[in-house]
Amino acid sequence: MNESARYAKIIEWSEEDQCYVGSAPGLMYGGCHGTDERAVFEELCAIVEEVIDLYHKDNKPLPPATSGRDFANRMQDVA
């Protein structure tokens, strides 16, 4: 399994910004944005890979994984 698969990647529409916003909570602050949902996801995946590479280059342990925590079903309980 690719290390980046251990981290949830979220793409959501921002009414305020009128664009899609991508983030990887638990791994990094910030993210990326754009008007094409698929392009934002692809950019986010590349950023996540880069962040993981930086952790390795700095000999820092990666944050705990965020994927596999059943976010989709848990978010339904909130709504």
On whether the CB atoms of residues 72 and 35 are closer than 8 A, the answer is no
Residue type, 26: G
- Token representation of residue 4: 């980046």
pLDDT confidence of 7, banded at 50, 70, 90? very high
Question: Where is pLDDT greater, at 76 or 27?
Answer: 27
CA distance 43 to 72: 22
Query: Per-domain residue ranges for the chain?
Result: 3-78
On whether the CB atoms of residues 41 and 26 are closer than 8 A, the answer is no
25-52 pLDDT, tens per residue?
999 988 999 999 999 999 999 999 999 9
CA dihedral angle for residue 14, residue 17, residue 23, residue 26, rounded to 10 degrees: -90
pTM attached to this predicted model: 0.82
pLDDT score recorded for residue 56: 97
